Structure 1
Amino acid sequence: MAKSAKVSVNHETGGLIVHISGLLPSLSPAEQRVARLVVADPAAAARRTITDLATAAETSEATVIRFCRSVGMEGYPQLRIRLAAEAARRIEPPDARVVGGDIPPGADMAQIIATIAFNDARAVEETAEQLDPAICERIVEAVAAAGRIEIYGAGASGFVASDFQQKLHRIGRTAFYFPDIHTALTSAALLGKGDVALGISHTGTTSDVIEVLEQARDRGATTVALTNFPRSPITEVADFVLTTAARETTYRSGAMASRLAQLTVVDCLFVGVAARNRTRAKKALEATADAVAPHRLGSNSTRRRA
């Protein structure tokens, strides 16, 4: 696959609120206060005048206008129209207490379950909505043709990296995941043209993952970044950028919602790669399933004896 200019997903395809949430870390502190008000209640923000919104955010009208331009709006009237449309299409849960992801002190177990379930489901749905099929197809093409695939991630993202490596390995793709930074760097140094390196970081600021992806890019490999924030540092070392749309609930920063959104993306890529050669993928999955079948209780397979 020929090297190309960086390609990024269009966040707005999944809705304005997803777009603003993804850009939030790159905004100024004053603009972030405006953004949080807008994200928390789009309908209420759409009803406010620019003066009202500025006052609520403890900032100036000029900052609100800068915020509009930072998120791709020409001005405040356009933002209000988009927010009103966004509010009209959003499906809220039956229990309004779960909106926003915050679990207040004293919340009962029913509210905790409802909040987590709603926000996890929304993370998956909004991530799927804003994925660009054309960009995913180009990444699938690169992975399917790659001589070697390496996947990097730390912490919660490391579990996703390991999951993707295991999936690709089961359909006969040469894929590796190295949780140790030194091993990852030495392996990335051996990559070259025709190989693919995928770095996963929810924040897009994990230095270990960025360093390894940069090493892979310098060696000529095609690099892919999977992050929640399209202006984060990891995107600077990626040929292709895919974004998730996770908003964490209380006590769960960097954990479940982000991991489920990431798994949604890698599952889409995995199925896309498997579909490129259905016969080969089917045979590989059957062979690997047969290999472990004797280790499952109740299996009809005869366990091999030494």
Structure 2
Amino acid sequence: MDIKRRIEDCAGLTPTEQQLASTVLALGDRLRGFTIKELAHTANVSIPSVHRFCKKLGLEGFKELKVELARSEARRVDQKGEVDINFPFAANDTADAVLAQMASVYQTTLADTRDLLDPVALEHAAELLDRARGIDIYTQSHNLYPAQMFCDRLLSIGRSASCFESGERQARIALASDCHHVAIAISYSGLGPNLATILPILHERNVPTIFVGTPNGCRLNPGLDVYLHVSDRESLQNRITQFASHIAVQYVLDSLYGCLFARDYANSRAFLERSLPATSLPALRRTELSPTEYASVMLNRLR
């Protein structure tokens, strides 16, 4: 995660550390010319406070803080000419221009989400799913599309999963779940209208909950088990459509599926093999191959 965003999102800072954080963000790249003593003096804090602040950010010390700030500035300079996430193309743009700009939207969103997404949190989420007897996905609106695709992928490797559009069905699934289930709540902004109903039920039923959303969306819904962050550059309203948020959520869910598959690769692969004859397209079933032979052919194609 970018160091400036890490400072902005860092929880549990003392008043002294908050003062130091404000000073560091205000100085930005200029901090490269400061000694630790000069920073402490500028922020009106002690040198040990600077050391504690760096440790809280997960850094070895003041030198690493300066290096990370320099990297952040270099990134910012590189990205000055990047695409407008909310309005990536203009009136009368050619097809070639739209293709180039949309490629930029994908690249920027994926890089930003990769920077925000904590691999430890992703692994923890995969571990929760691996132990769960049932996986229930709660979301609304455009996030339903990647969520339902993720649900289908879970079913394809033998995991019991649900993803309903109806708020009433979501509430009933939540009420029927328990500590042996895992819930995945997806809301880019953290303001999804279903969350006010669903999250208290899940808490009461002791259901481990994974939240997928922007850092601010996650902060709006505290106390959950795992937070998987997505890029937060897309405006909630002033945009053509949800290009970036859709891409970011899809990337997180695909990565989560990959981590889960990898945890139990042999059994996941075996379930895919068993399911191929029963789930093939009707036209492909009209073949003289036996189910076992057909499965072998399809697996070879997958390889």
Structure 1's 69 and 112: CA in aligned 2 closer, same or farther, altered over 3 A?
Answer: farther
Question: 197-206 vs 80-89, which deviates more?
Answer: 80-89
Partner of 1:77: 27
Partner of 1:236: 222
Does 1:198 find its partner at 2:180? no
For residues 167 and 265 of structure 2, the distance between their equivalents in structure 1, rounded to whole angstroms, comes to 34
For residues 125 and 282 of structure 2, the distance between their equivalents in structure 1, rounded to whole angstroms, comes to 35
Structure 1's 97 and 124: CA in aligned 2 closer, same or farther, altered over 3 A?
Answer: closer
For residues 14 and 152 of structure 1, the distance between their equivalents in structure 2, rounded to whole angstroms, comes to 29
CA positional deviation for 1:113: 2.7
Question: Which one of the candidate residues 254, 258, 261 is aligned to 1:271?
Answer: 258
Identity in percent: 22
What's the CA shift string for 1:33-88, capped at 9, x where partnerless?
xxxxxxxxxxxxxxxxxxxxxxxxxxxxxxxxxxx959944341147556653231
Superposed counterparts of 1:102-117, under 5 Å: 102-103=87-88, 105-106=90-91, 108-109=93-94, 110-117=96-103
Partner of 1:33: none
Is contact 1:195-1:222 (8 Å) kept? Answer: yes
User: In the alignment, residue 201 of structure 2 is paired with which amino acid?
Assistant: Q
Partner of 2:62: none
Does 1:16 find its partner at 2:4? yes
Partner of 1:60: none
SS of the residue 1:224 aligns to: strand
Does 1:257 find its partner at 2:244? yes
For residues 214 and 70 of structure 1, the distance between their equivalents in structure 2, rounded to whole angstroms, comes to 35
Is contact 1:228-1:243 (8 Å) kept? Answer: yes
For residues 4 and 158 of structure 2, the distance between their equivalents in structure 1, rounded to whole angstroms, comes to 40
User: In the alignment, residue 218 of structure 1 is paired with which amino acid?
Assistant: E
Greater C-alpha Rg: 2
Question: Which one of the candidate residues 83, 105, 124 is aligned to 1:98?
Answer: 83
Superposed counterparts of 1:101-180, under 5 Å: 102-103=87-88, 105-106=90-91, 108-109=93-94, 110-180=96-166
SS of the residue 1:235 aligns to: coil
Structure ranking higher on relative contact order (CA contacts 8 Å, 6+ apart): 1
Is contact 2:209-2:225 (8 Å) kept? Answer: yes
TM-score (norm 2): 0.69
Structure 1's 111 and 138: CA in aligned 2 closer, same or farther, altered over 3 A?
Answer: same
Structure 1's 269 and 229: CA in aligned 2 closer, same or farther, altered over 3 A?
Answer: same
SS of the residue 2:23 aligns to: coil
What's the CA shift string for 1:130-184, capped at 9, x where partnerless?
2111111111111100111100111111112211111111111111111100111
For residues 7 and 166 of structure 2, the distance between their equivalents in structure 1, rounded to whole angstroms, comes to 33
Is contact 1:214-1:237 (8 Å) kept? Answer: no
Is contact 1:15-1:86 (8 Å) kept? Answer: yes
User: In the alignment, residue 27 of structure 2 is paired with which amino acid?
Assistant: P
Is contact 1:226-1:242 (8 Å) kept? Answer: yes
SS of the residue 1:189 aligns to: helix
Question: Which one of the candidate residues 154, 173, 184 is aligned to 2:170?
Answer: 184
Structure 1's 116 and 15: CA in aligned 2 closer, same or farther, altered over 3 A?
Answer: farther
Q: CA RMSD in A?
A: 3.5
CA positional deviation for 1:193: 1.3
Partner of 1:286: 273
What's the CA shift string for 1:268-296, capped at 9, x where partnerless?
11111112211110011223333232435
Does 1:216 find its partner at 2:166? no
Consecutive unaligned residues of structure 1, counting only runs of 5 or more, are 1-12, 24-67
TM-score (norm 1): 0.68
Is contact 1:202-1:229 (8 Å) kept? Answer: no
